[in-house]
Amino acid sequence: MRVEFFLLMGALLFTIGCVGVLVRRNAIVILMCIELMLNAVNLTFAAFAHENQSMAGQVFVFFVMTVAAAEAAVGLAIVIALFRRRRTTDVEDASLMRW
């Protein structure tokens, strides 16, 4: 019962992030919306950790943050490498393997 507010917030933020990934063109903004989704998930984990009084939820949040950091670093490096080749961060332009 106590946890619904945070679950609702997590759901809303996750949806907004999802829409952002689907709709935006700029690769960097897409990466940011992915971070938004990861944060929504973190919020949900922390809410459940609080409700069940179990620290396992918070440990998971810790690991999600670590993985998000690693993924953001590598993702941005890829975007930079792509930009050096094509002078654009538009994902619609990265269409070599599209049919």
Q: Where on the chain is the footprint of another protein (CB under 8 A)? A: 1-2, 4-6, 8-9, 11-13, 15-17, 19-20, 22-26, 28-29, 31-33, 35-36, 39, 42-43, 46-47, 49-50, 53, 55-56, 58-59, 61-63, 65-74, 76-81, 83-84, 89-92
| CB-nearer residue toward another protein: 2 or 98 | 2
Q: Which is nearer to another protein, 5 or 97 (CB)?
A: 5
Closest approach, Cβ 82 to another protein, in A, equals 10
* C-alpha atoms less than 13 angstroms from C-alpha of 15 in its C-beta half-sphere: 5
Beta strands in 1-99 (DSSP E): none
Shortest CB 97 distance to another protein, Å: 17
**Which tokens in the block code for residue 21?**
């990934």
Nearest to 81 by CA among 27, 32, 41, 35: 27
Angle at 18 between CA 47 and CA 20, to 5 degrees: 125
Instruction: Say how far apart CA 71 and CA 77 lie, in whole Å.
Output: 10
> Least distance to another protein from the beta carbon of 94, Å?
12
